Structure 1
Amino acid sequence: MTPPLLPRLVEPFELQARLGEVRLLIVDMSRRETYLESHIPGAVNLDYAALVRAEPPAQGLLPDESRLSELFSALGLTPDSHVVAYDEEGGSRATRLVWTLDVLRHPTASLLNGGLLAWEHEGRPLESGERVPRRSDYRATIEPSLLADKEWILAHLHDPEIVLLDTRSPAEHQGTVLRAARGGHIPGAVNFDYVNAMDRARDLRLRDEHALRRELSDLGVTPDKEVVVYCQTHHRSSHTYFVLKHLGFPRVRAYPGSWSEWGNLPDTPIE
């Protein structure tokens, strides 16, 4: 395996030192208008919508292998590419890309800590306009062990080795804010709002690792358990997925259908 160019969580100074590397593929997950106005030199833009598939009522599903192969070929991805993803909103778009690459067992994908906000605040170089990637021939293969669907969750609802982690807001978790036909949460799920992992005083970088581990442990989310993250469409929960993997949790699955599926079905159990 080709060694990584950068750590999994990359600081702006580390990325700047690697700009221009042949194997480096920087992917800007910001809105297109933001990207065209200013982005990290060499970055290509990827529309978040390209990473999701809808099968009503479920939103946010993973595209199939054929679509992912075409998407990443158009992006210029090769098996040796080291991807660094970032956005302008605290990382939840960028981490959806990192999670997708993990599901494809792509060996090297990183998140820029603090994203575009941190890069700009530190006065690092920017460029405008559009970079057109050179097409590759990438073959996507999905690793199902990193996914959970409705049937898998139903089969593991009472499994003491599984922790369901709801990364929506407390109001959504409690059912006082409805974004589906029914409110509440999957039975037994504990709540950790994904924004609680962001340090607002440090350009939305990840918070202190020790504090995060302690808060998660208080919820029963510990590395000895298999953790399944979900939100509404696996947008927010992709950020928490990245946090858990960064903290060394070995077994983390995502439920891409999330509450858009579970909360809109008439017969799924809820609390």
Structure 2
Amino acid sequence: MSDTEPAIVISTDELARRLQGDRPPHVVFVGDADVYASGHIPTAGRVDFADLNHAEPPASGLLPPMAVLGEVLGNAGIRPDQTVIAYDDSGGGRASRLVWTLHALGHWRAGILDGGLAAWREDGHPLTSGEPAPGAETAPYPAELRSPEVVAGEEYIREHLDEPGVCILDARSPAEYRGEDLRAARGGHIPGAVNVDWGDNRDPRRSGRLRPLDELDALYRSRGLRRDQEIVAHCQTHHRSSLSYVVLRHLGFEHVRGYAGSWSEWGNRPDTPVITGPEPLPPENGRDSGGAR
């Protein structure tokens, strides 16, 4: 790993080392102002998670308009020439949403801090409190959708539902996937979607850090994901599935998209196909064991 092209997941010790280097990355906390003020990584900027999301009913979790997004990123001190390391205090989904957003803008030098704020604190690295001192007015980030290949919409999924080279990854809980936990007008899952709860990416033995790479690889292989496929990750609003997006990139999957509208769009539309029930059967036994609605 070079100092100019970091891995998409970085350890606390590696970040601490690089912050002392000649070209330190720009660190950004994604979360609430009161958490940031109570203790944050020195020099870190902040993005409110809500500012990375835009609602157009029935969908929420969409990318904001580019002009709005440019102001949000600029206010956090993010510039196109920087390496950005995002972190949060809520399991990695918020930080990963910023990484996915930057990737969509063609800003590929972006990653997350493994374990976030809790890991940084546990490993004894310094924190500073309070709000940042007022500085010079920041310029808006020149936001433009330069990498549309990491974004998927409802129409894209409809067009690729029956393609074996495209896998829909549902990062919600199994109860949401089966249709038992209803968070939209309809419950269930997209036909053929594979369910890997976003929480399964984290290692309960390591203070919320990600599982080791070999365990993550085995997890996704056990669900039938292949590196030659295009993976489309979603949850309810592409919050949880943003962590899945980062993990798949971490594992070396090169063709990964995020469905920003996610189930807030698919489950609230009356004309989208929906399946209820458990995980799909293996391909040799049938496409899906649930019932279409």
Q: How far, CA to CA, are the matches of 1:52 and 1:90 in structure 2?
A: 18
Q: How far, CA to CA, are the matches of 1:35 and 1:22 in structure 2?
A: 24
User: Does the 8 Å CA contact 2:47/2:73 hold for their aligned counterparts?
Assistant: no
SS for the counterpart of 1:60 is strand
RMSD: 1.6
Q: Are residues 54 and 154 of structure 1, via their aligned partners in 2, closer, same or farther at CA, if it must alter by over 3 Å?
A: same
Name the amino acid aligned to 2:143. Answer: A
Alignment of 1:65-144 (within 5 A): 65-131=66-132, 132=134, 134=136, 135-142=138-145, 143-144=147-148
Name the amino acid aligned to 2:196. Answer: F
Deviation at 1:23, TM superposition (A): 5.0
Residue 193 of structure 2 corresponds to: 189
Q: How far, CA to CA, are the matches of 2:260 and 2:31 in structure 1?
A: 21
Q: Could you tell me the percent identity over the aligned residues?
A: 47
Q: TM-score, normalised by structure 2?
A: 0.88
Deviation at 1:110, TM superposition (A): 1.6
Q: How many residues align?
A: 270
Q: How far, CA to CA, are the matches of 2:10 and 2:148 in structure 1?
A: 27
Name the amino acid aligned to 1:157. Answer: L
Q: How far, CA to CA, are the matches of 1:184 and 1:6 in structure 2?
A: 38
User: Does the 8 Å CA contact 2:3/2:18 hold for their aligned counterparts?
Assistant: no
Deviation at 1:30, TM superposition (A): 2.9
SS for the counterpart of 1:26 is strand
Tell me whether 1:212 sits opposite 2:216 in the alignment. yes
Deviation at 1:93, TM superposition (A): 0.5
Residue 42 of structure 2 corresponds to: 41
Residue 16 of structure 1 corresponds to: 16
Runs of 5+ in structure 2 lacking a partner?
A: 276-293
Q: How far, CA to CA, are the matches of 2:191 and 2:251 in structure 1?
A: 25
User: Does the 8 Å CA contact 1:6/1:14 hold for their aligned counterparts?
Assistant: no
- For residues 65-91 of structure 1, what are the alpha-carbon distances to aligned partners after superposition, in whole Å with 9 as ceiling and x for unaligned? 211222222222222211110011121
User: Does the 8 Å CA contact 1:75/1:136 hold for their aligned counterparts?
Assistant: no
Q: TM-score, normalised by structure 1?
A: 0.95
Alignment of 1:151-230 (within 5 A): 151-230=155-234
Moved over 3 A (4+): 20-23
Residue 278 of structure 2 corresponds to: none
